[in-house]
Amino acid sequence: MVLSFFQNACILIAFMSIGQNFFKEKNIFCNSSLNDKVAFGFFSGILGVILLMNSVQITHDTIIDFRYIPILLSALYVGLIPSVIASIIIGAFRFFFLGVSNSSIIGLICSLFIGVGFGIISLLKSSKRRKYIYSMILLIIVSVISSFIALKNVILIFQTLTMFISGYLIISYFSIKYLDYIIETIKIYQRLKNEATKDYLTGLNNVRQFDDSFNNISQLAIRKEEELSMLLIDIDYFKKVNDNYGHNSGDIILKGLAEILINTCRTYDVISRMGGEEFSIILLDCSDSRAFKIAERLRNTVQNNNFYISDNEAIKITISIGISSYPKLTSQIDNLLENADIALYQAKNIGRNKVVLFNNDKN
């Protein structure tokens, strides 16, 4: 019996490890969406059903297992909704698929009561440790009451409760510790993945992500026979900003410019920091004339914006922009960046604070 209970615990831990791969791309444990909560509830319910199917037989129609631990984890880490969903799935399975009996009815009632109870406890403004203690107290009370209703033999009740309560206290504690480890691993994975694709200062795409995005977008533009434009942007005299006001002020300027780029462009345009004070924008399905209007709007917005480097001090900057567009200005889509760079160089040469379209006839 003890060995079977241990096997049930191993299934729980193994399933948690598998679940790590399903939720590693989501922020399921903080500010999760309704869909994520529902998904986690179903996942926990399925885990509870698997534990139920591998339960320890006490009498002909009485079984024990760790089915309530997935409900507990759902409540402690995600909230009321997944806790209730998991309890409904587990209770319904116990009732409909394992036969209708007094024990199955008791199991259904206990599952629903515990799911709602754990969920309500999760709403308390207390530490996770206190919520866990309250949940264990609730589980013990429900287990004692249900055992006296389902089992008539006092010795069997005592043996069952001893194994059940001690097992739940031990395995639930280690499950929480293990889930904490999984969550920390997911956070590290997501941070490293974000750092691999995002610029640390502005939050925009970095050069690596720009390359990946451009390769995919350019091939899509060719297949759909759409126009594709690129803006290459450089802050004028940025070195003077760093020399006169310091690099912290320079960082403020870069972050402020990134916000302007995001607010001015469409949500599906791809904005990247190419390094230093240089930025790029890939304008999807955008002609050269439309790209020029967007660039001019950007240039004017930046020129008229006050960049506050302290509470009482603001400075102004200007930007130069080079534009290349496929297929009108650039017949080879792979040359968009290079040709936008040529146009940017021309904008710098004619006095800065300019927008220049690439002209192949001049090169």
Q: Which residues are known catalytic residues?
A: 277
Q: How far is CA 30 from CA 13, 37, 122, 162, 203, in A?
A: 22, 10, 14, 36, 20
Instruction: Read off the amino acid at residue 33.
Output: S
Would you say how long the chain is, in residues?
Answer: 363
CA 91, CA 98: separation in Å to the nearest integer? 10
Token couple for 58: 């006490």
CA 105, CA 90: separation in Å to the nearest integer? 12
Q: How far is CA 101 from CA 31, 97, 105, in A?
A: 41, 11, 6
Task: Give the closest residue to 56 by CA, choosing from 9, 14, 95.
Answer: 9
- Spatial strand order of the sheet with 355-357 comes to 270-275, 278-284, 228-235, 319-326, 355-357
CA 67, CA 90: separation in Å to the nearest integer? 8
Count the helices and strands in the chain (H runs, E runs): 12, 9
Q: Which residue is listed with tokens 């972050």?
A: 255
Q: Cβ contacts of residue 10 below 8 Å, gap of 6+?
A: none
